[in-house]
Amino acid sequence: MSHSWIQSVRGYVLVEVRGRGLEQLINRMIQQRMYVRDIRYTAEDRAEMNVVVGDFFRMRPLLKETGCRIHVVKRFGLPFLLDKLEKRKFFVVGLAGFIVGLYLLTSLVWQVRVEGNERISTDAVLQAARSEGVYKLQWKFRLPDEEQLARKLQSRLPGTAWIGVEMRGTHVVIKLVEATVPETKPLLSPRNLVAAKSGLVTKIIAEKGRPVVRPNTYVRQGDVLISGVLGDEQNSQTVVASGEVRGIVWYAPKIEVPLTLQYKVYTGEQKKRFYLVFGNRALQVTGYGKLAFEQFEAIQERKALQWRNYRLPLGWISEKVLETRMAEQPLDPAEARAIGLERAKSEILAVAGEGARVVGEKILHEKTENGKVYMEVHLEVEESIAAEQPIVPQP
């Protein structure tokens, strides 16, 4: 059944009328211009109809006159809704408070984020924004215009080429492009390149200066590799020597590897926790009680409420606490030897620097004792061996 919105505002009831004078009742109601709709006979002396609330109370004399009885089946419209709400005042107050609270929360700035900065610190940008009235828990309606704010921020941050301000729900995003500053090369004094470590030279390329040694030459720490002095004793000139010198350096690290490998496994037991998030605070809802796990790992999944493109400062966290234990796996001496050798290589390459590589390896000594394998390894590593040495002018 379709009804106009006017009926819904006035309110109407679906009634069931019974009696032999049913037709007489309907005729009398029409004569008195009562608003009756959707009359439907359910039996010979029984019918259902919709009656406006005001006309419903005018039916009593007609019911006595025709000998009919009436029963209200359903009530519709605004008056009945208001009557229900009046009986549930606490619910209405709570709903109104929730709506007002939600409106207030979405009217505040909950985060100010800076993007695109490298040289300019984030604190400096946030301080400049605070000076212009942009900070956390500020009312959004008190914020200045985005274009005007961007111009003021750029005047406060001279190292920027462009600044843009964007409102994303309760977040303010400040995007900036830093001005390009020409790189100033440091002033260098004349220098030599000398051997930082003793080793066998495998490669030498002099970009500036005079190479003193050749490949396949053994050098000691401190020997000059590329000289910054050009010419002879009568006509000489000092330059900043530069280039690349690589050589083979020998290492003999000592490694110990246990014959039992320990690693973490999950037992399958878990406990779930649920938190409600308000801004930067979290309220635990479920999962109370002391954990029965001696060892565990917690995995969290956080979600936030969104309205259209706005990210609200409300959300929840689902946390799984997984029980773990340490398992052991025995190793045979060959496996322990391989693990120790790889560990020795990793440690030495980390010390040797970028571009280093192992060109030779040999186990000098090995023994198994007290559940461990002890090894002394000989490694040949090709790496950069050049170091700078200033040229001190002669008096």
What string of pLDDT tens digits covers the 395 residues of the chain? 444 656 666 778 888 888 888 888 888 888 888 878 778 888 888 888 888 877 788 888 888 888 888 888 888 876 767 766 666 666 667 777 778 877 777 788 888 888 888 888 888 888 988 888 888 888 888 888 888 888 888 888 888 888 888 888 888 888 888 887 677 666 578 899 999 999 999 999 999 989 999 999 999 999 999 998 887 777 888 888 899 999 999 999 999 999 988 889 999 999 999 999 887 888 888 888 888 888 999 999 988 888 767 777 888 999 999 999 999 889 888 898 999 999 999 999 999 989 999 999 999 999 998 889 999 999 999 999 999 988 877 65
Sign of CA dihedral 102, 108, 110, 116: positive
pTM strictly above 0.75: no
Which residues contact residue 394 at a Cβ distance below 8 angstroms, ignoring those fewer than 6 apart? none
Q: Where are the domains of the chain?
A: 5-82, 111-178, 254-259+330-385, 263-328
Which listed CATH number (3.40.250.10, 3.30.70.370, 3.40.1390.10, 3.10.20.520) goes with 5-82?
3.30.70.370
Which residues contact residue 15 at a Cβ distance below 8 angstroms, ignoring those fewer than 6 apart? 48, 49, 50, 51, 56, 70, 71, 72, 73
For β-strands 111-115 and 171-178, DSSP reports them as parallel
Read off the DSSP letter of residue 243. Answer: E
CA distance 6 to 285: 46
Q: Mention the CATH class of domain 111-178.
A: alpha beta
Q: Is 147 helix (H, G, I), strand (E, B) or coil?
A: helix
Please give the order of strands across the beta sheet that includes 111-115.
111-115, 171-178, 160-168
CA distance 13 to 37: 11
